[in-house]
Amino acid sequence: MNRQVNSGHEGRRAGKRAVVVEPPGSISIAAVAAHPDDIESWCAGTLAQAVDAGATVRLLLVTSGDKGSDERAATSEDVMATREREAIAAARLLGFAEVAFLRHPDGEVEDTRALRGQLVSCIRRWRPAAVFTHDPVHSFPAYLCHRDHRVVGRAVLDAVYPLARDRRSFPEHISEGLELHAVDDVWLFASAAAEVLVDISAGFARNVEARLAHQSQTGDSNALADDWRRQAATLGASAGLSLAEAFVVLRSG
């Protein structure tokens, strides 16, 4: 049963009440993120527990984070290769069935027909019941949210509705054997308007382990793990949970 609780988390609008829900069960899930470590930063605890409940989770990364390094000697190709290896290792730890890369340039993702077509193609191929992605409208942190997060979230929502279910949108997919598909639910993470909490106590250790698999993005691993626990505990405390992640959950139909 869902419980309504008062919430004081800084990433949620004042005066809103949170609803505590279970993670998705035995369904197909597509997680679409801008960068290789975004999922681990916002929703990997929930997805790990969904896998435990029988869900099939596939991850689509729009960029490979090719600008995510300060090493002067490293080329963009070097950084991309490293971060893709790390993303695959992290996904394996979380029990994901597949990881795919679109390889758009980091920091330069644009909401184009080509990107929307790639997203629609992925939705029609993977046929998820639920999609996890960035909140493009009430992004967290506000104002200084990475631009790729906003662009990817908006393009994914447009791909979910109406494009993936519209016969006259990207009709070339039909000739490729990709049938129309309607997504049931969209779970938005990194949201300042989040009103849904998931208890991630059972998935937290794997969440941290997967985040630490992104070694190129990790300085002090102990400090990172402590930070993650503190943030999840602060969020969960508002609902009487030990550790939590937060979402906006939309019905797409």
The structure tokens listed for 252 are 């797409």
Q: Which CATH number is associated with domain 23-189+201-224? A: 3.40.50.10320
Residue 13 has pLDDT above 80, yes or no: no
Q: What is the pLDDT of residues 187-197, one digit of tens each?
A: 999 999 999 99
Listed residue (20, 27, 47) closest to 183, CA to CA? 27
As to burial, measured by CB atoms within 10 angstroms (0-12 exposed, 13-18 middle, 19+ buried), residue 149 is buried
Cross-strand partners of 130: 29, 185
Residue 251 has pLDDT above 80, yes or no: yes
Q: What is the pLDDT of residues 87-133, one digit of tens each?
A: 999 999 999 999 999 999 999 999 999 999 999 999 999 999 999 99
All structural domains of the chain with their residue ranges: 23-189+201-224
Going by pLDDT thresholds of 50, 70 and 90, the confidence category of residue 253 is low
Q: Exposed e or buried b for every residue in 36-65, given b needs 16+ CB within 10 A? A: bbbbbbbbbbbbbbbbeeebbbbbbbbbbb
**Residue 128, C-beta contacts closer than 8 angstroms, at least 6 positions apart:** 27, 28, 29, 30, 58, 183
What pLDDT does residue 16 have? 60
Residue 4 has pLDDT above 50, yes or no: no
Q: What is the mean pLDDT of residues 228-244?
A: 94
Q: What is the mean pLDDT of residues 51-65?
A: 98
Q: What are phi and psi of 92, to 5 degrees?
A: -65, -40
Cis amide linkage into residue 136, ω under 30° from 0 = no
Residue 135 has pLDDT above 60, yes or no: yes
